[in-house]
Copies of this chain bind each other. A is one copy, B any other.
């Protein structure tokens, strides 16, 4: 018996040592290796992009995506998988838009446009009018009603090429797209054309959401994006020929809200029943491409985080949730609903990470948190160096996780290389072939490694409170 006890003791010690021997470096190495040699994200994206395709909120494809991702999560052997109901807006593009530039002499040149999401249609025969080009709302105001009434306003401020992080260049331009119609309508414009949010010169028009705010229905004007090549052409023609007119026709429409869902999966934690770590992306996409980068990549990476944790033999202490949000693009209804319900239930989301910036090579994370927590994540930065992950900065996290913000938790956004993102964003070339398998898998691994660290070490609410008292 003594021998048996001794052997048992030694065996237990050995197991303990073996378990202890797994340093953070080793666990993270396993995570990356598993993603790069046995990842699922790319095959999932192939299906989501090529078999389902573009999936605007309220569409049949969006519903297909809900059902298929739930089925795939069901296969992973998670502790819970469910759908969270949410009503979403349903906007449809109608038949393909048509537009041309007409010179004073009557020569026409077809240009590439697409209706902005949320825009009204033009009259059935389209509209044709003279064009006023502006680069800002201030310039619009300076021109005033006498120069704008009855015309089409052309917002042509390009994205700033010398900003290194292209999301910043987007941030400096997107008000033209989002609020251009409201601003132009003030001065009696009959339509709005916006230069596509694209740093490259090409022929793809890029859609995206726009608003009418509280503008009465009868004052609303149709709004479309024009490709960057055609924006340059229109601008040149306007300089050469003051009589240049633009014609455009679109038949898009806002329908009644419809039922949709967030898709949620969970691994239940072993030690902290009310602490939640969330990883997610948004399941809806614009309708022009198949939404591979925006945000199919974030969806499949987030799904693979839970799978990679399991495959890497990690047993979480906290509840790990994947949330595939519905309706990020034109309403944020899914994110709003999720945050409301989490608050009602008192679920403490200590960390929420979104991937919604493309499926390119990951460079790091943007963190939205207090300084104590930021110092905590900085102390982990060296663990990511072997994977060329170097960008740890305080900045905005992600639209879908934003509503979960508290004074003590950590929100984060994966930050991939941004140089090519706006070549594809919201356009018909946001397609599966533009995603590289390894880049996607490196992103999934990088997210998993950070989730692993937050699960292991948590956030320190006491330190946070002390910090907040300063």
Contacts and interface: CB of A to CB of B under 8 A. Distances in A.
Interface of A: 32-33, 36-37, 161-162, 164-166, 199-200, 361, 363, 386-388, 390-391, 417, 419-420, 423, 436-439, 442
Contacts of A361: 361, 417, 419
A419 B391 contact: no
Nearest to A164: B387
A269 to B, nearest CB: 28
B162 A36 contact: yes
A332 B421 CA distance: 37
30 contacts: A32-B162, A32-B164, A33-B162, A36-B162, A37-B161, A37-B162, A161-B438, A164-B386, A164-B388, A164-B442, A165-B388, A166-B438, A199-B438, A361-B361, A361-B417, A361-B419, A363-B388, A388-B390, A388-B391, A390-B390, A390-B391, A417-B417, A419-B436, A419-B438, A419-B439, A419-B442, A420-B436, A420-B438, A420-B439, A423-B436
Nearest to A415: B388
Given A165-B388, A361-B361, 11 more contacts: A32-B164, A37-B162, A164-B386, A164-B387, A164-B388, A166-B438, A361-B417, A363-B388, A419-B442, A420-B439, A423-B436
A389 to B, nearest CB: 9
Contacts of A417: 361, 417
Nearest to A34: B162
Copy tally for this chain in the complex stands at 2
A338 to B, nearest CB: 32
Contacts of A390: 388, 390-391
Contacts of A387: 164
Nearest to A437: B200
Nearest to A166: B438
Contacts of A420: 436, 438-439
A229 to B, nearest CB: 14
Contacts of A437: 200
A423 to B, nearest CB: 7
A23 to B, nearest CB: 18
Nearest to A390: B390
A165 to B, nearest CB: 8
A50 to B, nearest CB: 16
Contacts of A436: 419-420, 423
A423 B435 CA distance: 12
A317 to B, nearest CB: 27
A438 B437 CA distance: 22
Nearest to A201: B437
A333 to B, nearest CB: 34
A199 B417 CA distance: 20
A164 B442 CA distance: 9
A39 to B, nearest CB: 10
Contacts of A442: 164, 419
Contacts of A419: 361, 436, 438-439, 442
* Max count, chain B CB within 10 A of own CB: residue among A32, A36, A200: A36
A358 to B, nearest CB: 12
A33 B387 CA distance: 29
